[in-house]
Each structure stands twice: as structure tokens, then as C-alpha cells.
């Protein structure tokens, strides 16, 4: 092997454009791209997900194709990176290992162990996962980390951005490196998911979706972003897997300017904010950020958790969201807030139950954003507001954001013929109306499993008892 060799370790940065670690590695005479299938993440860890792994496999296949177009190929290994990466570096005579720095506590510990295990090889953790190089470096004037989003976002907008990078024209992978083959879900020990989702994997699909959103969706984003039917960019799975550069997307959005661009950049800032929170407050991965709310007593997850998970609560917007999640591996953000509020404030179930189920089913399941979102809606996390301001009424939310019922009727087809004025409260239909609509409450569609007004009062009492006000 030539002395000037490098290894580029891919994880959740599955693209070739604007990839600092890949550009640095490809500058070497020899460059070996590798992905390590670690069972601690895929099957035995906290949040295994068949549908997300299936999407990842598709993204890896597309990455391999892009690398081959540049003279390289993706090498795959199986096991612990602490063992496999140093072994590969020694095999190819690498002088340098490059990877995109992560923010999750477990990943940061793993990366440190890998670098410490290297023998005569320099390890480089480079930016590329977020819009700014290091969200955790954004601090208050006093030098403290931000725990409230709005001031973080104001400072975030002023942070200088690096220039996005082109894809390297060549990736010269030695021919004698054993590449291996991408495994199947079955070979990884995961079941076939009930749905394959509706997102095409890979960088080309990500770029196509981003272009379509920038051309037709961004200008109206400020007005339509809360509409569950058609208001979203649908880019979150691609950002989560790094098929799309968050920095490059932010640059393109900023160039467009206008209210839609401002709103969308705020969403990108939220993503960086939650990444910073995970670095500064790693305990949030297990515990409530607000210490006094660790005393909240959660209800026993009996049949109510199953009804919520399966979309059988009797509240159409909640059920539509959970059914969309099961089918697509994705859910609109406004609906995520509604179903999260229903779980934690109407059913009084632990937010960690929702976090787990979302991580099992979401293509964009991400420790930082998912945990941050669940603690936000449970009123236990950073960016705190009074708990009574985050008690979403699923009926009025549906009437406001799905006024024509298109979203609910799409995912709850048994409600297709329910009169518009009864769609948010189908249980109020008369017997005659139920017969006419072909939707008998208790037979074709469930009655509400709880009374929202009653449970709202109970939630206020529970939180007030802990909060002391």
C-alpha cells in the first residue's frame, strides 16, 4: 500500500457534496471510505428501527454508487468501530482517519475510543452535521450555554458560515481492499417493516426534494408550514442521514429571502439548538431537563398506549398522525406536537414512551431532535414555557390546521363520508348521520378514549403540584 492513504468513516453523513471529512480524505493519494455496521446501534441498543435501517441501507447503496462514479467504492465492515476502524487503518497503511463529528453522548464517547485506539494514525473529527460548524460553541455573553431557543437563534444567525464544498472529483480507493457487500435487514437481524415508507433514499433524491421545495414551497412556507397536508419541506429524513448538507440548504434558503425563508431558517436553527443541548446537557437523554418535573408521576401504559400507537384514540387528528407514522415513517411537525401533547397531557403517559415509539418508527429519528421535541411538548425540557401553554386541544387543532379534512380523511378512510361539521368530533353524529356516513362510532371508528376537557384539568393539577404554582 502507498504510504499516503486515508480512511473516511461514514456514519450519518451519507453524501459526497459539501462533506469536509470526505474532501480531506480524498486529497490523499489513496482513500478508503468505510461504513461499520455496529449491532449496538442497529439491534441491541435503545432505539433499533427496521424502517430507519432499511432507509439507511438504500442511502448507503446510493453513496456507494456516487463513490464508484469517482473511482472509489464503499467498504463495509461489521462489529465495533473501536476494533474495525483501527484494523482497517492498519490494513491500508492509513496515516489519517477522517469522520464527521457527532453530538450524541454515546457517539462522542465511541469516537473518542476509536481515536485513542489508533496506532500511529491521526484522527480528525470535522464539521458537516449541522448548519454551523459547532452549535455547542454558541453561548451567551456570560459564556453559558443557551437553554432558551429564541436568543440562541438570534446569535446563530450571526455565526459565520464556512463555504460549502464541492464533491471531490476523485476518490482513489485501492483495488485490493476487500469491500464486502451491503447486508439485508434479515442478515442484520431485523424484521421486515410493515411499510417501506414513501421517501426515496439517497443524495440524488434529497437534492431533488430540496430543489422542488425551494422552487414551489419555500415562498409559502410561513403561511402553510402548519398545514399537515402539503405544508412541509419533507426534508427531515435526508437531513438526519446527511444525504443533504444542512449548511448548503441554509445558504440556498437565505439567498431566497422573504418570510418563508426566515421561517424555514428558524427550523434549521432548532435542529442546531437541540444538537447543542445534547452536548451541554447529556442527561436529557434519560432525564427531564427541568429537575422538578422528574417528580411527575406518569400513568400506567396499559391499553391507552396501544390505542395511541395504533391510531385508535377516537380523536381523528391524533389517529391520522399515528397512522401516517406507521405507513410513511414520517409525520408532519404540527401533528407531532398534537400527538405528543395527547400522550403526555391527555393520557398522562411518560414522554419517554413516545420518544421510544417515534425512534422505532421515524426515518428521521434523531436523538437530539426527537428528545428535544418530546421534552418540549411534555413541558419538561429546555426552552421552557408554562405547561398550560402546551396543552393542545386535538379538536381545535384539527379545525384550525386541517379545516377541509383532507389530511384526516387520507389517513382515516373510515371517516371519509363524515359531514365536515362533524369531522373533528365524529362521536357527536346522530345514529342517522352515522348510518349515512357509513361510520358507526364504536364499530367502524372508536369513541374518544378520554375526555379532553377533563384530562386537561387533570394535567394542570399534576404539573401544578410539582411546579409549585
- State pLDDT tens for residues 136-187: 999 999 999 999 999 999 999 999 999 999 999 999 999 999 999 999 999 9
Mark whether 374 is an active-site residue: yes
What nine digits make up the cell of 447? Answer: 369513541
Does residue 255 register a pLDDT over 50?
Answer: yes
**Domains of the chain, each with CATH number or no CATH:** 5-128 (3.40.50.620), 130-162+203-280 (1.25.40.80), 291-464 (1.10.579.10)
pLDDT of 467: 86
Residues 416-430 have a mean pLDDT of 98
Residues 400-417 have a mean pLDDT of 98
pLDDT digits (tens, 9 = 90+) for 41-95: 999 999 999 999 999 999 999 999 999 999 999 999 999 999 999 999 999 999 9
Residues 395-399 have a mean pLDDT of 98
Q: Describe the strand order of the beta sheet including 122-126 as a list of residue ranges.
A: 75-78, 30-37, 5-10, 96-100, 122-126
pLDDT digits (tens, 9 = 90+) for 178-193: 999 999 999 999 999 9
- Alpha carbon 324 to its chain's center: 15
Q: If you search the block for the grid coordinates 391507552, which residue do you land on? A: 304
The number of CA neighbours under 13 Å toward the Cβ of 415 is: 30
What is the C-alpha to C-alpha distance for residues 336 and 160, in angstroms, rounded to an integer?
32
Residues 398-423 have a mean pLDDT of 98
Residues 248-263 have a mean pLDDT of 96
pLDDT of 468: 74
Residues 374-395 have a mean pLDDT of 92
- Alpha carbon 353 to its chain's center: 16
Measured over the CA atoms of residue 138, residue 140, residue 145 and residue 149, the dihedral's sign is: negative
What nine digits make up the cell of 418? Answer: 363524515
End-to-end CA distance of the chain: 68
User: Percentage of the chain surpassing pLDDT 70?
Assistant: 99
pLDDT of 196: 74
Confidence grade of residue 387 (pLDDT, cut at 50, 70, 90): confident
pTM here is: 0.97
- Which one from 156, 330, 351, 376 is the annotated catalytic residue? 351
Q: If you search the block for the grid coordinates 391499553, which residue do you land on? A: 303
Mark whether 351 is an active-site residue: yes
- Asked if residues 13 and 19 have their Cβ atoms less than 8 Å apart, the reply is yes
- Which one from 156, 241, 270, 308 is the annotated catalytic residue? 270
pLDDT of 421: 97
Does residue 2 register a pLDDT over 60?
Answer: no
Mark whether 333 is an active-site residue: yes
What nine digits make up the cell of 310? Answer: 395504533
Mark whether 267 is an active-site residue: yes
- Which one from 91, 333, 427, 433 is the annotated catalytic residue? 333
Does residue 469 register a pLDDT over 90?
Answer: no
Weakest mean pLDDT among 259-268, 311-320, 386-395, 452-461: 386-395
- Asked if residues 62 and 204 have their Cβ atoms less than 8 Å apart, the reply is yes
- Which one from 267, 399, 433, 455 is the annotated catalytic residue? 267
pLDDT of 384: 78
Does residue 228 register a pLDDT over 50?
Answer: yes
DSSP notation for 309-361: HHT-SS-HHHHHHHHHHHHHS---HHHHHHHHHIIIIIS---HHHHHHHHHHH
Mark whether 376 is an active-site residue: no
Residues 268, 272, 278: CA angle, nearest 5 degrees: 145
What is the C-alpha to C-alpha distance for residues 180 and 121, in angstroms, rounded to an integer?
23
pLDDT of 3: 56
Does residue 409 register a pLDDT over 80?
Answer: yes
pLDDT of 1: 42
pLDDT of 303: 84
- Which one from 9, 374, 376, 411 is the annotated catalytic residue? 374
Does residue 282 register a pLDDT over 50?
Answer: yes
pLDDT of 15: 98
Q: Which whole-number Å values give the CA distances from 147 to 93, 104, 273, 278, in the listed order?
A: 44, 17, 9, 11
Does residue 369 register a pLDDT over 80?
Answer: yes
Amino acid at each position: 500500500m502507498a504510504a499516503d492513504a486515508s480512511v473516511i468513516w461514514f456514519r450519518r453523513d451519507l453524501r459526497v457534496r459539501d462533506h469536509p471529512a470526505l474532501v480531506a480524505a480524498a486529497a490523499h493519494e489513496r482513500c478508503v471510505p468505510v461504513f461499520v455496521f455496529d449491532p449496538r446501534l442497529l439491534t441491541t441498543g435503545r432505539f433499533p428501527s427496521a424502517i430507519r435501517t432499511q432507509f439507511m441501507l438504500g442511502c448507503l447503496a446510493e453513496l456507494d454508487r456516487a463513490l464508484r462514479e469517482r473511482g472509489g467504492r464503499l467498504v463495509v465492515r461489521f462489529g465495533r468501530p473501536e476494533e474495525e476502524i483501527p484494523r482497517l487503518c492498519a490494513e491500508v497503511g492509513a496515516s489519517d482517519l477522517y469522520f464527521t463529528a457527532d453530538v450524541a453522548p454515546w457517539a462522542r464517547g465511541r469516537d473518542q475510543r476509536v481515536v485513542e485506539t489508533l496506532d500511529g494514525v491521526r484522527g480528525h473529527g470535522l464539521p458537516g452535521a449541522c448548519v454551523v460548524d459547532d452549535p455547542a460553541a454558541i453561548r451567551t455573553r456570560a459564556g453559558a450555554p443557551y437553554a432558551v431557543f429564541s436568543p440562541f437563534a438570534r446569535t446563530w444567525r450571526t455565526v459565520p458560515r464556512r463555504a460549502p464544498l464541492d464533491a471531490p472529483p476523485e476518490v482513489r480507493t485501492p483495488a485490493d481492499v476487500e469491500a464486502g457487500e451491503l447486508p439485508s435487514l434479515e442478515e442484520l437481524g431485523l424484521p421486515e417493516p410493515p411499510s417501506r415508507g414513501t421517501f426515496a433514499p439517497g443524495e440524488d433524491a434529497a437534492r431533488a426534494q430540496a430543489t422542488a421545495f425551494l422552487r414551489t414551497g419555500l415562498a409559502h412556507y410561513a403561511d402553510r408550514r402548519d398545514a399537515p397536508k402539503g405544508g412541509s419541506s419533507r426534508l427531515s429524513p435526508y437531513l438526519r442521514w446527511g444525504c443533504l448538507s444542512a449548511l448548503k440548504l441554509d445558504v440556498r434558503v437565505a439567498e431566497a429571502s422573504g418570510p418563508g425563508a426566515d421561517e424555514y431558517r428558524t427550523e434549521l436553527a432548532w435542529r442546531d439548538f437541540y444538537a447543542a443541548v445534547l452536548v451541554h446537557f447529556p442527561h436529557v437523554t434519560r432525564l427531564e431537563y427541568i429537575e422538578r418535573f422528574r417528580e411527575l408521576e406518569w400513568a400506567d401504559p396499559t391499553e391507552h398506549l396501544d390505542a395511541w400507537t395504533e391510531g385508535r384514540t377516537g380523536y381523528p387528528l391524533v389517529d391520522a398522525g399515528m397512522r401516517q407514522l406507521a405507513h410513511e415513517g414520517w409525520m408532519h411537525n404540527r401533528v407531532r406536537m398534537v400527538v405528543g401533547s395527547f400522550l403526555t397531557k391527555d393520557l398522562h403517559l411518560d414522554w419517554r414512551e413516545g420518544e421510544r415509539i417515534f425512534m422505532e418508527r421515524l426515518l428521521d429519528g434523531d436523538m437530539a431532535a426527537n428528545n428535544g421535541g418530546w421534552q418540549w411538548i411534555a413541558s419538561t425540557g429546555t426552552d421552557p414555557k408554562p405547561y398550560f401553554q402546551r396543552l393542545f386541544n386535538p379538536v381545535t387543532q384539527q379545525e384550525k390546521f386541517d379545516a377541509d379534512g383532507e389530511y384526516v380523511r387520507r389517513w382515516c378512510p373510515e371517516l371519509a363520508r363524515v359531514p365536515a361539521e362533524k369531522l373533528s368530533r365524529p362521536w357527536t353524529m346522530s345514529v342517522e348521520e352515522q348510518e349515512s356516513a357509513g361510520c358507526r362510532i364504536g364499530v367502524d371508528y372508536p369513541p374518544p378514549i378520554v375526555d379532553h376537557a377533563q384530562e386537561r384539568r387533570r394535567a394542570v393539577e399534576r404539573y401544578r403540584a410539582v411546579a409549585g404554582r
